[in-house]
Structure 1
Amino acid sequence: MPASDGGRLWAERRGAGSPVVLLHGAGMDSRLWDAVVPELARHHDVIRYDARGLGRSATPGEPFSDVEDLRTVLDHFGVRQAALVGLSMGGETALDFALAHPGRVTALALVGASVSGHVWPERPELAAYDTARRERDAATLAELELAIWAAMGRTAPGGELIEAMVASNAEQRVVSEQHMVVPTARDAEPHLGEITVPTLVLHGDHDHPEIAVIARRLVADIPAARGETIRDADHYLPLRAPERLTELLLSHLS
């Protein structure tokens, strides 16, 4: 589908029922949801898409907004309101969209989510990760992505697909992130109390420690939020523990 600035986005729609949009994280693509979509689509109208410059979406050559891209996807399918399920960067986009367009969001599920405005701690692995992103060092960024965020390794469930996604998206990612426009005024963390829709906050017990810090903040500050820690899962939770995630999503979105 065409984006507002002339780019193109790839999306897939399956199932019937109330609309649910799945948003993946940075360096990933919509294959993150492969193990969740079949059962979720038995009960809901499920839309998933590749974020700009990742997966099958076109690499941007101009500035773009991830929030506007989400609006474009909803408008393309004629969906006025939807529940948003976002992991990591996708969770951040879902929160920002819910604050910008509250009437278009019926529920939130935030999985290992980041949040705009959060101040991350000064830790060596995070500093190296940020340096690789800033210097557009795709090879190093891919290595750090797996070391930090896929800590359970290749032998854990979904390991081969995780490695394939990270490898295939590494080069496009460093280009895409240079064009993403994130207004300084778009800090969600101070405004979490304005979110009124039912919100489920999930993270894996093997995720980076700061994700647990963010999850606690989300549960504490969003009035209609509840949280749960998922066992045997790192940041790639939908591939590590798909059955448990699907169960929780179906209950939350019912």
Structure 2
Amino acid sequence: MPFLNVSGATIYFESKGHGPHILLIHAGIADSRMWENEFHSLAKQFHVTRFDLPGFGQSSFTGGTFSYTKLINKLLTHLSINQTHILAASFGGKIALNFVLEHPERCLRLALQSSAIGTWDFSQELQEYDEKEEQLLAQKRFEQAAELNYQTWILRDRNPESLDPKLKKLVIDMQMAAFTRPEPPFSVEEEASMPPIPDRLSQLKLPVLVIIGENDVPDFQNISEFFNQTIVHSEKMVIPNAAHLANLEAPELINQLLISFFHS
């Protein structure tokens, strides 16, 4: 399996297909397995690469200072890719935005699914969620922390029987892989040195597709609207009956949107 050593981390990645390149960046409650459908479907028309962020899936931190932007740059260079489209979800969206703002010449189009933004006035609901997750992880109650994430981000207030049980199993499995992985001390370069993303969004000149699930956390619905209002060349699509990882609940609709957007 292909691995790439970068400063502070060892990264697992895989590529497939031919044509214009698309880089897939997963959410913080997932790993590259969340893109299973998109990876194979988009590869019929594009050259697609997915990878695990360090600390997720099969990628690991190796200690010291780490940079997400440098990681993406090195991965693209390793693949001999000068320019790429990017599809990113949640925490991965925040990483993608930082990369595109630092290296606009390397990105053609950007699709953001329930993207995070960094600095934001988060609701009481999410503040309480953060506190509860930290408590559970500190107590090494990893299964309960994974269940909390599934209920907060995926199930929401819906009937559990209305969702495919395979969806819950995948999310729990991805979370457990991250929670139970021992990691050395590390620091992330961009977090301290870059200006806040909201202050830089007006700099984006490339086309941006903003995807949000109808049942997503209200904070992220507000963030998606902020993106749509602030980014000059943006369009917003609301996915019916889906929550934070809409591509796992409406794969066919998401594929249609992505193919149309990246072919434009």
Q: TM-score, normalised by structure 1?
A: 0.91
Are residue 69 (structure 1) and residue 71 (structure 2) matched?
yes
Which of 145, 148, 152 is 2:152 aligned to? 148
Instruction: Sort the Cα spacing of 1:164 and 1:253 in 2 relative to 1 into closer, same or farther, 3 A.
Output: same
Identity %: 25
Q: What is the DSSP-based 3-state SS (H/G/I as helix, E as strand, rest coil) of the residue aligned with 1:99? A: helix
Q: Mark the runs of 5 or more structure 1 residues left unpaired by the alignment.
A: none
Q: Mark the runs of 5 or more structure 2 residues left unpaired by the alignment.
A: none
Structure-to-structure mapping, 1:38-187, within 5 angstroms: 38-121=40-123, 123-130=124-131, 132-133=133-134, 136-137=137-138, 139=142, 140-151=144-155, 153=160, 156-157=163-164, 158-172=167-181, 175=183, 179-181=187-189, 182-187=191-196
Instruction: Sort the Cα spacing of 1:141 and 1:178 in 2 relative to 1 into closer, same or farther, 3 A.
Output: farther
Aligned to 2:25: 23
Larger Rg belongs to: 2
* Amino acid aligned to 1:200: L
Greater Cα shift, 70-79 or 146-155: 146-155
Instruction: Sort the Cα spacing of 1:61 and 1:234 in 2 relative to 1 into closer, same or farther, 3 A.
Output: same
Greater Cα shift, 84-93 or 163-172: 163-172
Are residue 209 (structure 1) and residue 218 (structure 2) matched?
yes
Once the 2 structures are TM-superposed, how far is the Cα of residue 64 of structure 1 from its aligned partner?
A: 1.2
Structure with the largest fraction of strand? 2
Cα displacement string for residues 22-81 of structure 1 (whole angstroms, at most 9, x for unaligned residues): 000113110000122221111110000000111011244223122222222111111111
Aligned residue-pair number: 252
Whether contact under 8 Å (2:147, 2:172) holds in the other structure is no
Once the 2 structures are TM-superposed, how far is the Cα of residue 4 of structure 1 from its aligned partner?
A: 3.1
Greater Cα shift, 233-242 or 39-48: 233-242
Q: TM-score, normalised by structure 2?
A: 0.87
Instruction: Sort the Cα spacing of 1:65 and 1:127 in 2 relative to 1 into closer, same or farther, 3 A.
Output: farther
Whether contact under 8 Å (1:36, 1:246) holds in the other structure is yes
Greater Cα shift, 132-141 or 47-56: 132-141
Aligned residues: CA RMSD: 2.2
Whether contact under 8 Å (1:27, 1:170) holds in the other structure is no
